Structure 1
Amino acid sequence: MRFAIYYAPPPSSPLHQLGSRWLGRDAVSGEALAQPAALDLAPITREPRRYGFHATLKPPFALKDGTPPASLEAAVEALAHSIQPFEIVLALRPVDGFLALVPDRPCGNLGHLAEACVRDLDRFRQPASEEDIARRRAAGLSPRQDEYLGRWGYPYVFDEFRFHMTLSRRLSPSKLEDVTPLAEDHFGMVIGHPITIDSVSMFVEPRASADFTIHRRFPFQSPRAKASP
């Protein structure tokens, strides 16, 4: 079993519904969904579909031996209670050949959120295996990314972090040209408009290669606000 800490929009939000339909699966229910029919999306969304519609904050990891999942949940809840909601505006852009929804401008709050997830929750993580490290290195890493991989089990953290909600596998330039207009139309009601980042979610992969689903959503709020009537 592996766990991951992701940003996922509220289940009732247009962003969640649009993203889930695009990928062809709802990470809340695990239900398969019909994808937009204007283009055959199934082959190019197969990889991100398994992970569910999300943006990575702390990537998938196994718990250290003997660590109960409830301990991780308590830590994520405490982290969420320390963070105030904030807004970003989404844009549709390629990221290293992947089509993705990204912030339209740099956002320090996103960086602080991702850093907190990486640092505060790392005590629960089983160190990455040599096989996982070799697989990451095979993609080609900078010296800094390789250092992060060795220390944190993932190369794209801290100054290497980029918030993105993946919509495809890596595509050729011509395929990106074909898919982008469809994505612009599909996500038109959320692109260019503010969305509120007000929670993090714990995703679970129950066994190797299984689909990830949302186990629990943790709203941002202070403990004092939670106790208020």
Structure 2
Amino acid sequence: MSDPRYAIYYAPPPESALWTFGCRVLGYDAATAAPVPALGPLDVKPKRWAEMTASPRRYGFHGTLKAPFRLSGSATEDDLVAAGRAFARTQAPFPLPPLKVAALGSFVALVPDGEAPELARLSDGCVEAFDRFRAAANPAERARRQEAPLTERQTVALERWGYPYVFEDFRFHMTLTGALAEDDVAPTVEALARLYADHVGAAATEVNAVTLFVEDNPAEGFRIVDRFVFQG
């Protein structure tokens, strides 16, 4: 069995309409580590929708704050939990900015409908606060990250932080599909936008915690370990 991978994600409050929507689109609830009835476009067959969402389903519904990493030799899961609780004591809740369904290249995601400086600051804090627990990426992981064209700054970030899209290059998003064929992107955006309006709409959601996820092995996908509620 490979070493577990951990990540610090934003996951909406479990009672929120946003969490229910995201889990159902992916067909998986990372809080229970169990499948849920999928919610997809009416004109897409369930089997096809399962294929279109296979990649993000592995990670669970989330917005990345500190990308997946393996623990350094001396660190433990208990250390991460303790650090998460300490971090949460320094953070205050804030409203999640309005989101919209959009295409990010060939995949579809929820993204802020405008600037999101508080989310960027939260990500910056997570990148720095939890990095002491991160083992250096192995050659295969570094090579996979370098398959995408990276700027010089992103290459430096990959070496320093284990992930290229941090600080100035951070863009908050909550992935809803894997890479799609070009002809499927626009119809999928339109269909998911309608579903989002129907199931979430203008319901307010708060960023009141960061969540620790773990992937025990690639065959099982990520699940929630703990949710660190802000107390600042």
Identity score, percent: 41
- Give the Cα separation in 2 of the matches to 1:68 and 1:184: 40
Show structure 1 runs of 5+ residues with no match: 223-229
In structure 2, give the amino acid aligned to 1:25: Y
Cα drift, residue 95 of structure 1: 1.4
How many aligned positions are there? Answer: 222
- Give the Cα separation in 2 of the matches to 1:201 and 1:210: 18
Moved over 4 A (4+): none
In structure 1, give the amino acid aligned to 2:169: E
Mapping of 1:49-60 within 5 angstroms?
49-60=57-68
1:225 match: none
CA-to-partner distance for each residue in 1:94-152, whole Å, 9 max, x for gaps? 11221111111111111110011001110000011121111111122111111100110
- Give the Cα separation in 2 of the matches to 1:96 and 1:202: 27
Query: Which residue of 86, 94, 100 maps to 1:91?
Result: 100
Q: Which moved more, 1:191-200 or 1:90-99?
A: 191-200
Contact 2:21 2:200 in 1 (8 A): no
Q: Does 1:36 align with 2:35?
A: no
Cα drift, residue 191 of structure 1: 4.6
Alignment TM-score, normalising by the size of structure 1? 0.92
State the Cα RMSD in Å.
1.4
Query: Which residue of 135, 140, 149 maps to 1:140?
Result: 149
Cα drift, residue 25 of structure 1: 0.6
Q: Does 1:2 align with 2:5?
A: yes
Contact 2:101 2:108 in 1 (8 A): yes
- Give the Cα separation in 1 of the matches to 2:161 and 2:23: 29
Query: Which residue of 53, 56, 62 maps to 1:48?
Result: 56
Show structure 2 runs of 5+ residues with no match: none
Alignment TM-score, normalising by the size of structure 2? 0.91
2:20 match: 17
- Give the Cα separation in 1 of the matches to 2:184 and 2:219: 27
Distance change in 2, residues 1:36/1:190 (3 Å): closer
Mapping of 1:94-173 within 5 angstroms?
94-173=103-182
